[in-house]
Structure 1
Amino acid sequence: MTTTQSAPASLDDEAVLLVGHGSRREKSNEQVRTLAADLEERLGIPVDAGFLELAEPAIDDAIAGLAGAVSAVTTVQLSLFAASHVKNDVPLAVQQARETHDDLTVHNGAHLGVHPALVDLLDDRAAAVEAELGVDRETDDVAVVLCARGSSDPDANSDAHKLARLLYEGRAFDRVETAFIGVTEPLLDERLHTVAKDRPDAVVVLPYMLGDGVLTGRIRDGAAEFDEEYPYVEAGAGDPLGTDGRLLDVLGDRWQEARTDSVDMSCDTCKYKVELDGYEEDVGGAKALLRAMTHQETHADRDDVDDQPHTHDAPESHVAVCTNQTCATDGAPAVLERLRQAARDSEACDARITRSSCLGRCGDGPMVAVYPDGVWYGGVEESDAERIVSSHLDRDRIVSDLVDQTL
């Protein structure tokens, strides 16, 4: 769950950071910058663009650039649904920025989510395709397939279904179905074949994407292939959301929520907060924190230039050393430096060793967490660092007398 720090600052002393995912495709990054400029004009305060990865500036650099000019920064996330980026990665970056800039208030805003302006925008995208196909939902049987990216987070996928239902309610569509281009089911091809069995007059495929990238292209290709295979059904694909002004309505609402401490995350269905069938191993903020820390360094873009699947070029291990106040007092900085030195001296160690904010074990530290093994060492002294490297990181042998817990 996102948290904020204080009451909203004066608009004269406040800025916004619009956080995009980042891409190797500069066109996608320019879309974020365009929306940032438009949002600045809308709100009347400075709005900069920052990126989670693969583009500059990174979130911490962007916040540092604003810190000297204002006393408060509100992040607004240009993410459609709340999956791991929204729940883990951006909040971690924001928390690290708070610790770096003591005199700066940093509010963390929510994702775009399900919003009436987005439903209206999708309705217009569907109407544009209907006009191209020469059909009218009032007189013809028009089916709509809303196609989203797909996620390993059921909470995010459920919002896609909710959005489709809202698009259906009160409109004359014959039906509105949900599909995904990857990761989860139903996939677009499967959903289109199912819809065809009802023999509608037309099928409108709506890519629920921000930009016109690889995945949007795959959705268009899927619609075109379906159109060829089923000559008795007119089919076409719409445009992505782009930089439509209605996105600014949503971003403005998310900004106002964040700066007034009114962000409402979906914790009741969050796989990191509650046990969901099939996702039991994801429960626990500590695991999510470690995943997010590793992600900051190793995540690669799904939509890369070679059209390759989402990959990680990660080191074998990621070691997080809590350097929050209690652990720092107990000697964590010295442990951190000794671990780094031992790793540099080792020929076998393939690990990234970084600082961490509080790991929630105050009084039991210094705490050292090794991911992906899920082994937490407690009460670690500077003299223990070489054992952790030589035994655990070099030879995959847990230092049993230091183990605090395993995840």
Structure 2
Amino acid sequence: MTADAAATPVSLDDEAVLLVGHGSRREKSNEQVRELAAAVEERLGVPTDAGFLELAEPSIEAAIAGLAASVSRVTVVQLSLFAASHVKNDVPLAVEQARSAHPDLTIHNGAHLGVHPAIVDLLDDRAAAVEAELGLDRTADDLTVVLCARGSSDPDANSDAHKLARLLYEGRAFDHVETSFIGVTEPLLEDTLHTVAKRRPDGVVVLPYMLGDGVLTQRIRDRADAFDEEYPYVDAAAGDPLGTDSRLLDVLGDRWQEARTDSVEMSCDTCKYKVELDGYEEDVGGARAMLRALTHQETHADRENVDDEPHAHDAPEKHVAVCTNQTCAADGSAAVLERLRQAERDSEACDARVTRSSCLGRCGEGPMVAVYPDGVWYGGVGEDDAERIVSSHLDRDRIVSELVDQTLSQ
């Protein structure tokens, strides 16, 4: 039963909802949050405003301050897909600060969207749309679905992506449903697609598990298009993100009802801040989580000049792509990738992101390393060359000429 149909033991009088989105420099993404807030207000019959954790206005604190003038109760509903650091640390910190600033205001903090039957149903429809586009039928053709999420450093959040993929598989005629990520953790989308190709399915449906058409969603589409070109015997395409589908309102309504009746349930048994998980032992403890949230909040404060105050949300000066496809991998590109990443981490002057890449079309000349926006491709790169590329090209903009395979004009 969704929240709008459920019994509501607490009166709706003198109450408001704050829908909290992450915030983006792309105004289109912020507008999506506002559209959903308006839809939530219409669905629930409760005044609903939008607020943002970062990168957009109003902030959570400012939005709550605006509501405090007209109501005595605010329920915060989080427009986050997974329970990672923002949900566990940053939003609760902002809510606590708002409680201190408005002691007469009752503020309930809700959970993230999480795993919900309405989302599984929505993903199924997104897959069906791609099936129709490709001219395939899951009941007759060998069809694989690859669910691609953002990826997180929180294993609890990543596990939800795997659970959604499994629920999407159960009771449906897909031959396989795989989980992948566009960054941060593994398996990465391109690696998963290459593995899927070995089974030679008739079609592959890539589902971006994203709310909107942002940079990461486009990156997922690009990966799917590249895969479709690289493997002509497999029809592949990416679907649409969740968007503002009405089924999200079912989920948001349930999360609102849970919060306002103090029945929010979080996965504390698998939270890296509360349980000592292998590989995440240093993250245990509320003090560490709070320090991380305060540091993140401070990072975003008074950032008038992004160039002088870069942080993780800002694009790096250079992007280094290392081919890890079959031929380059056989020549040792995985080791080159790790050496480049280590050298980049050790450098104080380097502002670059080092990622793996699918085939760059220079088979036999690798391992290939491409540096952008410079358009410089290095060939035959060995482990010992990695530090030279970082110290010379990435640190000082001096091309390592003897390794250059080709340069591409911009």
Q: TM-score range by the shorter chain?
A: 0.7 to 0.9
SS at match of 1:39: helix
The alpha-carbon deviation at position 310 of structure 1 amounts to 2.8
CA distances 1:233-257 after superposition (whole Å, capped 9, x unpaired)? 0000000001000000000000000
The aligned runs of 1:387-402 (5 Å cut-off) are: none
Deviations 1:363-401 (A, max 9, x none): xxxxxxxxxxxxxxxxxxxxxxxxxxxxxxxxxxxxxxx
Correspondences of 1:185-204 after superposition (within 5 Å): 185-204=186-205
Task: State the AA in 1 paired with 2:312.
Answer: H
TM-superposed deviation, 1:290: 1.1
8 Å contact from structure 1 (residues 205, 237) kept in 2: yes
Distance 2:145 2:185 in 1: 19
Partner SS state of residue 11, structure 1: coil
SS of the residue corresponding to residue 147 of structure 2 reads: strand
Supply the AA of the counterpart residue of 2:170. E
| 2:341 equivalent in structure 1 | none
- With the length of structure 2 as denominator, give the TM-score of the two structures: 0.72
Residue 55 of structure 2 aligns with which residue?
A: 54
Q: For residues 22-53 of structure 1, what are the alpha-carbon distances to aligned partners after superposition, in whole Å with 9 as ceiling and x for unaligned? A: 00100000000000000000000100000001
Match of 2:267 in 1: 266
1:14 and 2:15 matched:
yes
Aligned positions, number: 302
**Structure 2 residue matching 1:248: 3-state secondary structure:** helix
Write the mapping of 1:315-334 to structure 2, written as runs, cut at 5 A: none
Tell me the residue number matched to 1:342: none
Are 1:299 and 1:312, in contact at CA under 8 Å, matched by a contact in 2? no
CA contact (8 A) 2:209 2:242 kept: yes
- Aligned residue identity for 2:217: T
Partner of 2:174: 173
Matched position secondary structure for 1:172? coil
* DSSP 3-state at the match of 1:296: helix
Local SS of the residue matching 1:145: strand
Indicate if the aligned counterparts of 2:153 and 2:185 stay in contact, CA closer than 8 A: yes
1:232 match: 233
Give the match's secondary structure for 2:206: strand
Secondary structure, in 3 states, of the residue corresponding to 1:30?
A: helix
- In the alignment, the residues of structure 2 paired with residue 116 and residue 296 of structure 1 have an alpha-carbon distance, to the nearest angstrom, of 33
Q: Quick check: 2:72–2:106 contact (8 Å CA) kept in 1? A: yes
Whether 1:35 aligns to 2:29 is no
Structure 1 residues 260 and 10, CA gap change in structure 2 (3 angstroms): same
Aligned to 1:45, the other structure's residue is in SS state coil
1:162-202, CA deviations, whole angstroms, 9 ceiling, x for partnerless residues? 00000000000000000000000000000001011111100
SS of 2:13's partner is helix
SS at match of 1:163: helix
Hey, what does 1:100 align to over in structure 2?
101
Cα distance in 2, alignment partners of residues 278 and 214 from structure 1:
30
Deviations 1:82-111 (A, max 9, x none): 000000000010011111111110000000
Q: Matched residues, percent identical?
A: 83
Matches for 1:197-346 after TM superposition, within 5 Å: 197-299=198-300, 310-311=312-313
Q: Distance in 2 between matches of 1:65 and 1:19?
A: 14
Q: Is the 8 A contact 1:146 1:207 kept in 2?
A: yes
Consecutive unaligned residues in structure 1, runs of 5 or more: 1-6, 314-407
| CA drift at 1:10 | 2.0
Within 2, Cα distance between the matches of 1:290 and 1:75? 22
User: Matches of 2:145 and 2:94 in 1, distance apart?
Assistant: 38
What is the correspondence of 1:110-189 to structure 2 with a 5 Å cutoff?
A: 110-189=111-190
Cα shift at 1:292: 0.4
CA contact (8 A) 2:299 2:311 kept: no
Q: Please give the alpha-carbon distance, in whole angstroms, between the structure 1 residues aligned to 2:279 and 2:23.
A: 30
- Cα offset, 1:68, TM superposition: 1.2
Whether contact under 8 Å (1:298, 1:312) holds in the other structure is no
How big is each residue's C-alpha offset from its partner over 1:84-140, in whole Å with a ceiling of 9 and x where there is no partner? 000000001001111111111000000000000000000000000000000000000
* Partner AA of 1:17 in structure 2: L
Q: State the AA in 2 paired with 1:271.
A: K
Structure 2: distance between partners of 1:251 and 1:38: 10
What is the distance in 2 between the residues matched to 1:226 and 1:102?
55
Contact 1:148 1:209 in 2 (8 A): yes
Distance 1:30 1:271 in 2: 33
- Mapped contact 2:146–2:205 kept (Cα < 8 A): yes
Instruction: Specify whether residues 149 and 224 from structure 1 end up closer, same or farther in structure 2 by C-alpha distance, changes over 3 A only.
Output: same
Deviations 1:247-275 (A, max 9, x none): 00000000000000000011000000010
For the Cα contact (< 8 Å) 2:10–2:261, is it kept in 1?
no
Q: In structure 1, what is the equivalent of residue 370 of structure 2? A: none
CA deviation map 1:269-312 (0-9, x unaligned): 000001001000000100110110111121499xx9xxx99348
8 A Cα contact 1:150 1:180, kept in partner: yes
**Counterpart of 2:133 in structure 1: which amino acid?**
E
SS at match of 1:53: coil
Distance in 1 separating the partners of 2:263 and 2:311:
37
Question: When the two structures are superposed, what TM-score results if normalisation uses the length of structure 1?
Answer: 0.72
Alpha-carbon distance in 2 for matches of 1:50, 1:309: 21
How far off is 1:217 after superposition? 0.5
- One-letter amino acid of the counterpart of residue 269, structure 1: T
